[in-house]
Amino acid sequence: MRAANGLCPSVRRAATIVFLLVGLARTARAADSPWVYGIHWYGDPNGVVESMTGGKGIWSLETVETNSDVWWSAGWQRDYRFATMVARGHTLIVRIERNWGETVPYAGHLAQYLVDVQAAAQALAGVCHVWQIGNEMNLYSEWGGNALTPADYVDMYKQIRATIKAVPSALGEQIVLLGPVSPGDVISGVRHTEGNDYLGQMCDLLTASDLDGFAIHAYAAPWNDAGTSRNELLAGYLSQLAVIDSKGFGGKVVHLTEWNRRVDPLSDYNEAQSAQFLSGAFADLDAWNQRAGAHPISSACWFIYAYDSGTWANYSIEYLHGVGPGGANNDLWDAFQYACTLNLPTAGPTGGATLMYNATPAGANAARNATGVWTDSGTGNLAIDGVISAGSKWTSEGTVPPHWLQLDLGGLRNVTGFVVRHAGAGGEPSYFNTRTFHFETAPSTSGPWRVDTMVFNAASADSTARTYYQPQVLRHVRLYVTDPGIDNYARIAELEVYATTLPGDFDHDNDVDGADFQSLTLCLQGPGHTYVSGHYCRGRDLDSDADVDLADFAAFQSMFTGGSP
């Protein structure tokens, strides 16, 4: 989303420019914001953003145009607004583009644009080191009514990135983010490529050394209540993370540079829903960022803060602060202020290592013997009955995702991986197949959940298989669907969780208990007594050195459950 015109004339005061030029000279090296909070368009530096944040320096997505009105230029904004923002502790993410409707340059403009980008990077070297290249490239309107292909965008992104990274910033390494897609399905005349497809196609043309991170966008519809809107937003950014991770970029930083719930129609009730959505969504994002194995999001910039024109009034925190009753449950400004009191930190990726790879796992299907089955909606038992058909599948309700299917395997199992049979495996059309999901595990029914892999089923394949690099001792598993496919119904013909015998479970009853201990002690003869291959006691040799001694006893202790937990 973007503004259709420039800022109001009051933002062009020469006296303020002179004042801020002095401030720029005093700008010191500062760390990036330690908080997850962010806004889009700070606006007038005489505003009250810091009152809203409780004095916290937050992230702010700002737009620089190299070929538009002067008040969108790098130098003018640096002197009028950016230097003051940085001095107040805020961290800029600059979205740079050639002009409104030319988010990256047409071919004939590219050479000069690279010169202009270098000049902008030099002008902002003291106030910015995080950049977003372009905006929602899968929209016709962002490229003069034409379709910008992922290949053409990626080619220009690489050149623009190299130009920026050649200019040192006083704030640290130049971080150049891949531009965000417009999320959602194809819309004739509006969105020429489905959002996740465009993102995936860009990723296919890149390696880890080609980019520094990602900008993403996610939204909630104004006709849903606060709770439903939170789910819609969560599914929106998690589905994009599934694309990013499945393409091998789990170690890259991600910024959510636009998110919102439009207050439309404008009413006290509808703003109250957006206010509750705002504070709740920050809490949801923090919960995700704290989850083991999750790809965290470093900032979330609400679109928009500053009031610019009537077109954007229904989004603007600043505008809506003067409309309707106050309070964190009623007013967007107050809700943002309350969220900032929660002190939710920023988070970055921890390395992008994955526990799983694309292969069919070994062992037997332990899901068939699950002792507990839960879902957000629908009959989950139909997904573990061994029947793969259209008439025997878990089907969620058609509510806004995420949807989930959770299993208790009945005891600790040595899990090797899983297979998901989508709707197409049961004979239904492939467009019913799940598009994005992740597989989670936990020590108990209530968690805490660990994200073991994220999946983008780009080709809408009928089945998905993943195998652990090393088998995991697990009991509770969950399939978490963020993009069900053509509509909001999750359709899973079968969820198969494969396992081999649990180490130390000598009697194969899915636990390690006193009976197994008795079996171990029968063979506990010490390091001086070795057993030949095939001997009964070689099965009790847990460290594979041909004897059963105190080392094996110590290993057994670590596996002991005392019966089914």
CA distance to 274, 303, 323, 547, per residue, from 317 (Å): 10, 9, 10, 70
Question: Encoding tokens for residue 406?
Answer: 């959770």
- Residues 19, 79: contact at Cβ < 8 Å? no
Nearest CA to 411 out of 505, 495, 480 is that of 505
Q: Is the dihedral of CA 111, 117, 122, 125 positive or negative?
A: negative
Q: What is the pLDDT of residue 352?
A: 65
Residues 67 and 331: beta-carbon distance below 8 Å: no
* Whole-number percent of the chain with pLDDT over 70: 94
Q: Tell me the pLDDT band of 5, cut-offs 50, 70 and 90.
A: very low
Structure tokens at 359: 């292969």
Q: Which helix (H) or strand (E) holds 150?
A: helix 150-165
What's the rounded Cα separation, in Å, for the pair 256 and 242?
A: 14
* Count of other CB atoms within 10 angstroms of residue 11: 18
Q: For residue range 146-196, what is the model confidence (pLDDT) as tens digits? A: 999 999 999 999 999 999 999 999 999 999 999 999 999 999 999 999 999
Residue 301 has which token pair? 């910039």
Q: Which is nearest to 239 in space by CA: 283, 178, 181, 191?
A: 181
Q: Which residue has the tokens 């409780």?
A: 54
Question: Is pLDDT above 80 for 28?
Answer: no
* The pLDDT of residue 559 is above 90: no
Q: Which of 39, 58, 162, 187 is nearest to 110 (CA)?
A: 162
Residue 29 scores a pLDDT above 70: no
Contact yes or no for 495/386 (Cβ under 8 A): no
Whether the pLDDT of residue 12 is over 50: the answer is no
The tokens describing 363, both together, are: 């062992």
Give the span between the Cα atoms of 131 and 378, in whole angstroms: 44
DSSP secondary structure, 25-92, as one string: HTPPP-PPPSBSEEEE----TTS-HHHHHTT---EEEEEEETTS-GGGSHHHHIIIIIHHHHHTT-EE
Q: Which of 448, 451, 437, 454 is nearest to 293 (CA)?
A: 451
For the chain, which domains are there?
9-340 (3.20.20.80), 356-500 (2.60.120.260), 514-559 (no CATH)
Q: Which two tokens stand for residue 171?
A: 């704030």
Cβ-Cβ contacts under 8 Å for 544 (sequence gap 6 or more): none
* DSSP tag of 378: S
Q: Are 303 and 258 in contact (CB under 8 A)?
A: yes
Phi, psi (deg, nearest 5) at residue 534: 95, -15
State the CB neighbour count (10 A cutoff) for residue 21: 13
CA angle, 125 as apex, 123 and 130 as ends, to 5°? 115
State how far the Cα of 60 lies from the Cα of 302, in Å rounded to an integer: 9
With 0-12 / 13-18 / 19 or more C-beta atoms within 10 angstroms meaning exposed / middle / buried, residue 444 is exposed
For 242-262, write each residue's pLDDT tens digit.
999 999 999 999 999 999 999
pTM: 0.88
The single residue listed with the structure tokens 């989930």 is: 404
8 Å CB contact between 390 and 426: yes
Question: Rounded to the nearest 10 degrees, what angle do helices 268-290 and 226-246 cross at?
Answer: 40
Q: Is the pLDDT of residue 565 over 60?
A: no
Instruction: Identify the pLDDT of residue 562.
Output: 78
Per residue in 347-402, pLDDT tens? 999 876 789 999 999 999 999 999 999 999 999 999 999 999 999 999 999 999 99
- Nearest alpha carbon to residue 229 among 267, 271, 286, 290: 271
pLDDT in tens, 50-66: 999 999 999 999 999 99
